[in-house]
Amino acid sequence: MFEVLIKDFRVEVRRRFEILASLSFVLISSLLIAQASLISKDIILPAFFIVIIFLAVFTSTTSFVREMDSKTIYGLKLLPIHPYKIFLEKSLFTFLLILFQGFLEMFFLAVFSSVSLFEHIPIFLIFSFYIATVSSFSSALVMYSEGRGFLIPMLIFVFTYPVLAPLLRLDTFTLILETLSVSLAMVSLSPYILED
Amino acid sequence: MIELFDVWKRFRDWVLKGVNLRIERNGLFAIVGDNGSGKTTLLRIMCGLEKPNKGFVKILGRDLRDCKRFLGVLLHENILYDELTVEENLNFYAKVYGCYSEISKDVSRRLGLDGYMDFKVKDLSFGWKKRANLVRALLNDPKIILFDEPFSGLDESAREDVREIMFDLSRDRVVVFTTPIEPDLDCEIFRLENGVVYV
């Protein structure tokens, strides 16, 4: 159970420069948002969600793209486990990474701008789950492409578009519905991408 | 045990043009062909990493998807995680397979890999990575073993060890390997020329 997920965490922990880079991004982005919030406090929440989208772009490179770069994707494809399981574990890994970085961002924002986003944790959790699924799906979709550096952010931004309205209106119910429908569609499509 | 029916594969040009191949008993089988003749493609089709444009493969009388558990594959590429140690890599794959076979432990000992278990894969030379990948391929005690150019990148003593291991494995398993040169092994040879297999 969760062997792929545990393995991904082990690999991630050993890549210290990547951890340092993502922590630096979280720190610098929260500093910038705090600075901008001196003009208006209203920008903090939308800016926070934009940071989460960027985190999803960065994290997508740790998912299937990294497996493809190191050819270890072939090892996964040779295993007698269903592609659903691989996709779900990869999505869960991305979700946990985004959660960790997102909470850190929330903490830094609270320190630097004295604005607490912790009341928005439910919507943050739902959006993180959505964006993690999108991130893994985009990573799987373009892993064979040479233009993936360009395609991944494009895809993630396009897939984020449908949930932007409920996200900014803080409409939790609609966000849950859209998250469930899009995630289900992506999970059901994943075997076709991973098997070919 | 392994059956390929009219397998066609195209990249830019047709690499395989209607390959029919049937292996019905345990033993050692070599696919011999020049560089670019399609040996690796054929092997990757046999293990499901490539899909043929036409034709199909059956392993143990079943569809490929249903018999990954019985396959052991050594690819030309290293498929172990660079950041993990050899032991962590083998444990990961063993957990997914649900077994750590005695044969893989034996092969690890024979290849001298036991002394490198604590090494991260990225710190190993090509030859040792190949040995580690070979042990990985045997973790699930496979009935069908596919090796893509198993001798390349190995020194003479390792080659001799691998030859002996392959010979031992072939007593009660199907061992298929690709090679660009005529193998000095007692095995059945399939010659791949112009996209067609000749026995």
> For chain A, which residues make up each domain, given as ranges?
3-194
* Cα A89 to Cα A95: distance, rounded to the nearest angstrom: 10
Q: Identify the closest residue of chain A to B65 by CA–CA distance.
A: A80
* Cα A158 to Cα B140: distance, rounded to the nearest angstrom: 42
Spatial contact of A64 and A73, defined as CB atoms under 8 Å apart: yes
Question: Mean pLDDT in chain A?
Answer: 91
Residue A191: per-residue pLDDT: 86
Residues A111-121: tens digit of each pLDDT: 998 888 888 99
Q: How far is A1 from chain B (nearest CA, A)?
A: 8
Mutate to test the interface with A, among B86, B96, B99 (most CBs of A within 10 A): B96
Average pLDDT on B35-45 reads 92
Q: How far is A102 from chain B (nearest CA, A)?
A: 25
Q: Which of B69, B92, B140 sits opposite A3 (nearest CB)?
A: B92
Quickly count helices (H) and strands (E) in chain B. 5, 10
Residue A2 pLDDT exceeds 80: yes
Residue A113: per-residue pLDDT: 87
Residue B28 pLDDT exceeds 80: yes
Residues B157-179: tens digit of each pLDDT: 889 999 999 999 999 999 999 99
Q: Which of A4, A15, A77 sits opposite B83 (nearest CB)?
A: A15
Average pLDDT on A82-97 reads 92
Residue A195: per-residue pLDDT: 75
Q: Which of B96, B120, B140 sits opposite A81 (nearest CB)?
A: B96
Residues A40-71: tens digit of each pLDDT: 888 899 999 999 999 999 988 888 999 999 99
Q: What residues in A contact B81, CB-CB < 8 Å?
A: 7, 11, 70, 72
Q: What residues in B contact A78, CB-CB < 8 Å?
A: 47-49, 68, 71, 73, 79
Size of interface A-B (CB pairs under 8 A): 55
Q: What residues in B contact A82, CB-CB < 8 Å?
A: none
Question: Mean pLDDT in chain B?
Answer: 91
Q: How far is A69 from chain B (nearest CA, A)?
A: 11
Q: What residues in B contact A11, CB-CB < 8 Å?
A: 81, 83-84
Residue B118: per-residue pLDDT: 95
Q: What residues in B contact A6, CB-CB < 8 Å?
A: 92
Dihedral sign of CA atoms B126, B129, B131, B136 in order: negative
Residue A16: per-residue pLDDT: 86
* Cα B147 to Cα B141: distance, rounded to the nearest angstrom: 14
Residue B58 pLDDT exceeds 80: yes
Residue B45: per-residue pLDDT: 94
Residue A196 pLDDT exceeds 80: no
Average pLDDT on A63-85 reads 91
Residue A34: per-residue pLDDT: 92
Average pLDDT on B81-97 reads 95
Percent of chain B at pLDDT exceeding 90: 68
* Cα B98 to Cα B92: distance, rounded to the nearest angstrom: 10
Other Cβ atoms within 10 Å of B59 Cβ, number: 25
Taking only Cα atoms into account, the Rg of chain A, rounded to an integer number of angstroms, comes to: 17
Residues A133-163: tens digit of each pLDDT: 999 999 999 998 888 888 999 999 999 988 9
Q: How confident is the model at residue A193 (pLDDT cuts 50, 70, 90)?
A: confident
Element (H, E) at A87: helix A83-113
